[in-house]
Structure 1
Amino acid sequence: MAAAMMDPSLVPAMVADASGAVRLVPTPAGSTVPTLAEQPAASSGAALARLAPSELHLPCARLGDARAKLLLGGLGDSVLTADLARNILTPASLSAITRLDGVQSLCLANNTGIASDDGAALAAGICKLTALQRLDLTGCKLSPAASAALAASLATVWGAPTGGAVCGGSRSLLLGFCGMGDAGASSMGRLLASACGITELVLRSNDIGNHGAKALADGIKACGATLQALDLSSNAGTGAVLPALSHCTRLASLDVASSGLNYTAAATLAAALVCAADSASAAAPSSSSSSSSSSSSSSAAAASGATAGSASGAAPPLTSLRLSANPLSVAGVRALEPFLSSSAAGSLEALYLDGCELADAGAASVGAMVLDAGAGLTSLRVLDLTLDGIKAGGARSLFAALRGNSSITALSLARNKFGALGMADLVAACRGHPSLALLDLSTTGLTEHCSDSVAAIVAGAPALRGLRLAKNDFKAGGAAAIARAIRGGGGKAAPTALQELDLQFNPVKDSGAASLAHAVRAGGALRILRLSGCSLESGGVAELTHALRDAPAGGAACLIEVHRARGAPRAAMAALADECLRRQQAHAAAEGLDRWEPLAWPFDMSPIATGRADEEDLDDGAASEGSGDGPPVAGRQCSSFV
C-alpha cells in the first residue's frame, strides 16, 4: 500500500471491512468516498464509535493531537489492535490513546515527539493499558529519562509472566532506532530483570555500548526462560551480551547484524547457543518413563519445541540467525562450527551471513557445514551470502554442495563477482532441485554469454518462483533466451513456474522487452517483471503495455515495473502503470484477497541491506523501490510466499 499511497492522485479514505477492521485505503481523488481529510473530525469520531472496530489502522494519516482526541475518544475497549505509526502525535495525544483501554497491540512507531516530555505522559498512559501485550515505539526518540519512565511503567503492567489467552501470553517490545544509549539500555535491563515475561525484544540501532550491553546481559539472564526473539543489531556493545544467551533456552530468532563481531565473538556465540540448547533439552520432559537421555532424544525434544513450546513447556528451537555485516571472515565461520554441527542447529531455517567477508575459503566452509547433504541442517530454507567477496572458486564449492541439498528454498549470492565461471556447476545444482524457489544472482558479473546457462536454470529448476538478475550485462539476446525458457522453450514444453523475473539495470532495450512481452502474453505463471533502468524507450514500454492487455484475463501477470525509461513519454509510462493497477485489482478481487501482493523475498532488495552500499548503488536502489501494490479489495489477506 505504501507505493500506492505515494501516488498524488490517491488520497487516504477511512474504510471499514467485513472483518471489523478500519483502515486507510488509497482512493482516487474526486471519489464518492469521503476522504479522511474531507471528513470533519467530530463526525469521523462518531462514525468510528458506531463501528466499534476491533482493529484500527491509521498510519501516515497526518493525525495531530486535536484530531486524534476527536477520532479516538469514543472508541473505548472495542479496539484490540491500533496502528498509529508515522503521524505527528505528541504527549498531548496520549490521553486519547489511553482511552483504548482494551488495546493489546499498540503501534506508535515514528511519532518522533511522543516522548518529548521525557516520557512522563507515555509512562502514565501505559500504566492504564492493562491489556497491552505488544508495544511498538520504533523510531520514537527516547531520552534516558524517557527510557527509565517507560521501563518502570511496563514493569508495572507486565509485572509477572502470564500464561493467559491474551495474545497467547506473548509480550513484545519494539524499540529500534530510539537513540536510548547506554542509560536507556540499562533501564531495559532492569525491566527484563523484573520478571516481566517479555518474549520479543527489539533494540536495533540504539547506540548501545559495552556498559549498556552488560546491564542488558544481566536482564537477559533473568528472562531467558521467556525470551523467544531478540534483535540487538547495529549496536557496538552487542558482543558483551553474547555470553548471556546461554540462559535463553527458548530463543527462536536472533539478530546481531552490524555489531562488529569477529571470529572470537562468533566462538562465544556458538558456545552460548549450544549451552542454551543443552539446558533446554535437559529441562524438556521425557516422552515416556523408559526413554533414554541420549543426544538423539534431546534433538527430538528441541525440534518439537517450536510448535509445542507454549503448551508443554518444551523449548522452541533456534530457527533464524542473522549475522549480517559482521567481519567474521573464514575464521568466524569456522568458529561457528560447534553450533552448526550440533543438534542445536538442527531446526535452523534461516541463516544470514551477508556482508561477512567470507571470500572463497569461507564460502567453501559454508558449503561443507551448511549446504552439504551430510551437514545435518535439513531444516535450512534460507541462506543469504550477499556481498561476501565470493569469486569463482568459492562459488563452485557452494554449487557442488547445493547439488546434494534438498531443503534450501531461497539462496542469495548477489554482489559476488564470480561471473560466468562456475555457471555450469550452478546449472547442474539447480537441475531438478526439489525446493529452490528464490534465487538472487544480482550483480554477479554475468554477461550475455551466460544466457543459455540462466535459461537452463529457469527451465530445469521445477520449484523456481523468483529469479533476480539485476545489474548484470544481459542484452536483448539474453532476454530472448530467458523469455523462451519461461514459455517452455517456445511452446515445445509447458511454461515454467517462474513468477518473478528481475532484470533491472541490464541493457535489454526495446528488442529485449519485446521478447519478454511474448512471455507475458503466453499467460503462464509470470506475475512480476522488473525492467527499471533497462534503456527502454516508448516502443518497448508500449509493447509491454499491449502484452499485459492481451494476456489472458485470469492470467497471473500483474506488475511490469519500468522506472527510468528516459526515452518513453510520460503518457506511455502512465498507461502501463494503469494497466498494472487494473490487473492487480482484478486479480485480488477474483482471489478474494484484501489486496494484490508481490512475492515475499527473505532478502532485502535494497543494496544498503548490508550497510555497504556505494553512491551508485544507493541511487539505483532508490529508483527501483516500490511494490506496485494496488488498493485493498474486501476479503482475506494473502499470505507470504516464504
Structure 2
Amino acid sequence: MEYEIAKLNKKDMKKQFILLGLFLLASSFTVSQVRGQEVQKKMHWKGCADKVTKRETYLNLVKAYAKKFRNLTELCNGQWPDSTDARYLRAAAEALAYNQTIIKIELAYRDSACVIALAKALEKNRTIRELVVLLSTEMGSTGAIALAKALEKNRTIININLICSYIGSEGAAALATTLEKNRTIRELALRATKMGSTGAIALAKALKKNSTITNIDLSCNDIGSEGAAALVTVLEKNRTIREMQLGGIKMGSTEAIALAKALKKNSTITKIDLSGNGIDSEGAIALAKALEKNNTITNIDLSDNDIDYEGVAALAKVLEKNSTIMEISLNNNRIGSAGAVALTKALEKNRTITKIDLSWNGIDYVEAATLAKALDDTIPCKKECIYLTYDKTMYNGIHLTKSLEKNSTITKIYLKTNKPGLEDIAALANALHKNSTITEVYLSCYDIDYEEISTLANILKKNSIITEISLYGRNKIGSAVASALAEALEKNSTITKIKLRLKDMDCVGAVALAKALEKNSTITKIDLCYNNIGSAGVVALAKALEKNSTIMEIRLNYNNIGSTGVVALAKALEKNSTVMKISLMHNRIDSVGAVALAKALEKNSTITKINLNRNGIGPEGAVALAAALEKNSTITKIGLGGNNIGSTGGVALAMALEKNSTITKIRLNGNNIGSTGAVALAKALEKNSTITNINLIVNHIGSAGAAALAKALDKNSTITEINLVGGNNVTYKELTALFIDKHIIIDGGKD
C-alpha cells in the first residue's frame, strides 16, 4: 500500500514537473515574442523615418530641378543629368513633365536610361516643340521604344532629330507605329540610326497613313533595295512630304527607276536627295523622264553616283525645258567634257537654275570656258553667292569666272583650287575689273606665285567695289605674295577686311603689310594668323598701329611672336585708341610679355576683348594682368586658358574680379589653380555682378573647390554658364549634386 502511494506520488510529481516545465517554457516564449515585437516595432518606425527622409530628399531634388528649369526655354546637355544616379533622372523627369517654359531639348551622347527618363517627362509635358538627341549610340531600341510610347500621348512636339542615335530596326518600327497615329510631328530626322530594311519598311507603312510629316531624313541607313522599294510606294500615295533625304541608303539604279516613276505622279516633293546611291546612267535617264512631267521639284542632289555622259545628256535635255529646278548637284560623277558640252547647251536655254555643282567630274578647260559663256547668257539669276570648286584636272577652271564680267547680282565669290595658272588668275582679275557688284573675294590656293598674285593685286589697286579679301594657301614665297598685296593696299580705298593665311609669310611679308597699313585708312579688321611672322614682323606691325587710326580688330594667333614682339605691341597699344579686339593666342609671350601687356591695359581705354590663351605667362604674368584688370574699365572678355598660372595666379585674378565691373566672360581653363584658387574665385563671385560665363576645366579644383563655387552661386545671380567638367578631380555626379538648384550650365561632358 505504501508502495502504491509512493508510486502514485512519483507519478504526480512527474506530472507536476512536466506541467511546471511547460509553464516555464510558455512563459519564456511569450517574453521573447514580446521583446521581438518591440524590436520589430522599433525597426518599423525607423524604416518609416528612413522612407520619409528619402522622400523628402527626392522632393527637394524635384524642387531643385523645377527651379533650374523655370527660366529656361531650351534644355541642353549640361542641364540634364546622366544615368549614374537614377534618383536625379527621375527627379529631373518629374520637374520637366510640368515645366511650362522649355520649348526645345537638345542632348547628345545619352544612353537608354537617360532617354527613358526623358520620355516619361514628354508624356505629360505640354510646351516642348522640338526634340534633338544626337550621337547617342547607346540609346538603343529600348530608348526609342520609350520615346515612341511618349509620343503617343504628347501633342506638342513637331520636330524630332535622332541623327546618329542607334535605335535599330526595332526602335524604328516602334516610332513608325506611333507615326501612324500622331498628328503633330512635321519633321523627322533618322539619319544614320541603323534602322535597316526592316525599320525602313515599317516607316514606309506609317508614312502612307501619316498626313502631317513634311520633311524626313533617312540618309546613311543601309536599307538596301527592299527598304528603298517600300519608300518608293510612299511617294505614290503620300501628299504631305515636301523634302525627302535618301542619300547613302544603297538604293541602286533599279529602285531609282521605280522612284522616278513615282515622281511622275507625285505633286508635293520639292527637294530630294539621292546622293551616294550607286545610280548609273540608266537610273539617271529614268529620273530625267520623271523631271519632264514633274513640276514641283526645285532641288535635286545626284552627287557621288555613277552617272556618265549618257545619263547627264538625258538630264541636260530636260533642263532645257524645265522651269522649276533651281539647284542641281552632279559633283563626283563621270560627266567628263562631253557631259559638260551637253549641260552648256541646256544652260543656254534654261532660265531658272541658280546653282549647279559640277566639281570632280574631269571637265577640261575648253568646256569650262564654254560653260562660263552659257552662264553669261542666263537671264537674271537670283544668285548672290557663287561657289566654284575645281577638280584635280581642272586647274584652269577659273575661266568660269568670265561669266562674272557681265553678272550684276553676285556679291560674293569663293574659289578653291590646288594650283592655278597665270591665265586663270588673269581671268579672275579681269572679271573683277569689269564686275560692279562683287564685294567679297575668297581665294584658296595651295601654290600661287608672285607673278600670279601681282596680277590680282594690280586689279585691287583700281577696284573700288571689293571690301573684303581672304587668301589662304601654303606658299613657298608667302612673303612675296604678301608684299604684292601690301603694295595694292597702299592705294586701295575700299577694302575694310583682310585675311591672309599663307603659312610662310614670315617677317618680310609682315613688314611690307605694316608699311601699307601706315598709309591705308579704310581697313578695320586684319587677320594674319598662322603666318610665322615672328618678333620682327610684329614689331613692324606695332609701329604701324601707332599711326593707323582705323583698325579695330587684329588677329595674330600662332605667329611665334615671343616676348620681344609683344613688348613692342604693348607699347603701341598704350597710344592706340581704335583697336577694340586683339587675339594673340599661342605666341610664347611668357611672363615678360604679359607684364608689358598688363601695363598697356592700365592705360588703354578701347580694347574690349583680348585672347592670350596658351602663352605660358605663368603666375607672374597672371599677377600683373590681375593688377591691370583692377583698374581697366573696358575689357569685357579675356582668355587666359592654358597658361599654368597656378593657385598664385588664380588668387590674384580672383581679387581683381572682386573689384572689376566690366568683364562678362573669362577663360581660365588648363591653369592648375587648385582648390585654393577655386575658393578665392568663389569668394570673388559672391561680390562680382557682371561675369556671366567662366571656364575652369582642367584646374584640379577638387570637391572642396567645386563646393565653394556652388555655395558662391547662392549669392551670385548673373552667372549663366560655368564649365567645370573635366580635369578637376571631381565626378560629374558630384557636380550635378552641387549645382542642381543653380541657374547655370556646368557643361555637358563627363569627368
Q: Could you state the TM-score of these two structures normalised by the residue count of structure 1?
A: 0.63
Query: 2:417 matched to which residue of 1?
Result: 325
Counterparts in 2 of 1:393-412, with a 5 A limit? 393-402=480-489, 411-412=498-499
What is the CA-CA distance between 1:573 and the residue it aligns to? 4.5
Q: Which residue of 1 aligns with 2:107?
A: 25
1:574 aligns to 2:698 (yes or no) = yes
Question: By how many angstroms is 1:340 displaced?
Answer: 3.7
Q: Does 1:355 align with 2:355?
A: no
CA shift digits 1:201-225 (9 cap, x unpaired): 44554465555544444444444x5
Are residues 1:469 and 2:551 paired? no
The CA RMSD over aligned residues, in Å, is 5.6
Cα distance in 1, alignment partners of residues 274 and 552 from structure 2? 37
> Which of 506, 509, 533 is residue 446 of structure 1 equivalent to?
533
CA distance in 2, matches of 1:513, 1:262: 58
1:392 paired to 2:488:
no
Alpha-carbon distance, 1:331 to partner = 1.6
Partners of 2:507 and 2:470 lie apart in 1 by 21
Q: Could you tell me which residue of structure 1 aligns to residue 163 of structure 2?
A: 59
Q: Aligned to 2:484, what secondary structure does the other structure show?
A: helix
CA distance in 1, matches of 2:236, 2:174: 22
* Offset of residue 120 of structure 1: 0.9
Pair 32,356 (structure 1): closer, same or farther in 2 beyond 3 Å: closer
Q: Deviation at 1:86?
A: 3.3
The residue that corresponds to 2:378 in the other structure is: 276
Change (3 A) 1:147 1:412: farther
> Are 2:151 and 2:182, in contact at CA under 8 Å, matched by a contact in 1?
no
Task: Provide the rounded CA distance (Å) in 2 between the counterparts of 1:430 and 1:153.
Answer: 62
Residue identity in the other structure for 2:455: S
1:186 and 1:520 map into 2 onto residues whose CA distance is 69
**Cα offset, 1:395, TM superposition:** 1.8
Which of residues 474, 491, 506 is equivalent to 1:419? Answer: 506
Residue 493 of structure 1 is matched in structure 2 by 604
Match for 2:222 among 108, 113, 117? 113
Structure 1 residues 271, 112: closer, same or farther in 2, change over 3 A? same
The structural deviation recorded for 1:50 is: 1.8
Question: CA–CA distance in 1 between the matches of 2:719 and 2:348?
Answer: 46
**Which of 158, 179, 195 does residue 89 from structure 1 map onto?**
195
Give the deviation of 1:173 after TM superposition: 3.5
Instruction: Specify the code of the residue in structure 1 equivalent to 2:213.
Output: V
Q: Tell me the distance in 2 between the aligned counterparts of 1:182 and 1:576.
A: 61
CA contact (8 A) 2:510 2:538 kept: no
Q: Judge conservation of contact 2:647–2:674 (CA < 8 Å) in 1.
A: no
1:328 maps to a residue whose letter is: P
1:479, 1:512 within 8 Å by CA — same for their partners in 2?
Answer: no
Residue pairs, 1:69-80, within 5 angstroms: 69-71=173-175, 73-74=178-179, 76-80=182-186
2:454 to 336, 353, 364: 364
AA aligned to 1:331 is E
Please, which runs of 5 or more residues in structure 2 have no aligned partner?
1-75, 84-88, 120-138, 384-403, 574-581, 583-596, 679-695, 723-741, 744-751
SS in 1 for 2:106: strand
Contact 1:510/1:540, CA 8 A, preserved across alignment: no
Higher deviation after alignment, 570-579 or 225-234 = 570-579
* Alpha-carbon distance, 1:427 to partner: 3.7
Pairing of 1:168-179 with structure 2 (within 5 A): 171-178=270-277
Larger radius of gyration: 2
Identity percentage of aligned residues: 18
User: For residues 581-612 of structure 1, what are the alpha-carbon distances to aligned partners after superposition, in whole Å with 9 as ceiling and x for unaligned?
Assistant: 99xx9xxx9799xx99xxxxxxxxxxxxxxxx
Distance of aligned partners of 1:68 and 1:278 in 2 relative to their CA distance in 1, 3 Å threshold: closer
Q: Deviations over 1:340-393 (max 9, x none)?
A: 4445xx444654431364322332333344x44x43644x65645334666223
How far is 1:87 from its partner? 1.9
C-alpha distance in 1 between matches for 2:288 and 2:167:
33
Q: Quick check: 2:669–2:699 contact (8 Å CA) kept in 1? A: no
Of stretches 346-355 and 84-93 in structure 1, the one that deviates more from structure 2 is 346-355
Take 1:187 and 1:519, find their aligned partners in 2: how far apart are those partners?
A: 71
Q: Within 5 Å, give how 1:180-259 maps onto structure 2.
A: 180=279, 186=285, 189-190=288-289, 192-206=291-305, 210-223=309-322, 225-234=323-332, 237=335, 240-241=339-340, 243=344, 244-247=346-349, 249-250=351-352, 252-253=354-355
CA distance in 1, matches of 2:351, 2:512: 40
Shift of 1:274: 1.9
Q: Indicate how the Cα distance of structure 1 residues 71 and 348 shifts in structure 2: closer, same or farther if over 3 A, else same.
A: farther
> Which structure shows the bigger proportion of residues in helix conformation?
2
1:259·1:326 contact (CA, 8 Å) conserved in 2? no
Displacement after TM superposition at 1:509 (Å): 6.6
SS of the residue 1:334 aligns to: helix
Letter in 2 for 1:101: S
Q: Amino acid of the residue matched to residue 267 of structure 1?
A: A
Q: In structure 1, what is the Cα distance between the partners aligned to 2:654 and 2:490?
A: 37
**Secondary structure at 1:353's aligned position in 2?**
strand
> How far is the alpha carbon of 1:434 from its aligned partner?
5.3
Q: Hey, what's the Cα distance between the residues in 2 that align with 1:544 and 1:433?
A: 43
Structure 1: state its 5+ residue gaps. 161-170, 282-298, 304-316, 597-632, 635-642
Cα pair distance change 1:67/1:329, threshold 3 Å = same
Task: Give the Cα–Cα distance (whole angstroms) in 2 for the partners of residues 158 and 280 of structure 1.
Answer: 25
Give the count of matched residue pairs.
529
Q: C-alpha displacement at 1:113, in angstroms?
A: 1.2
Amino acid at match of 2:373: A
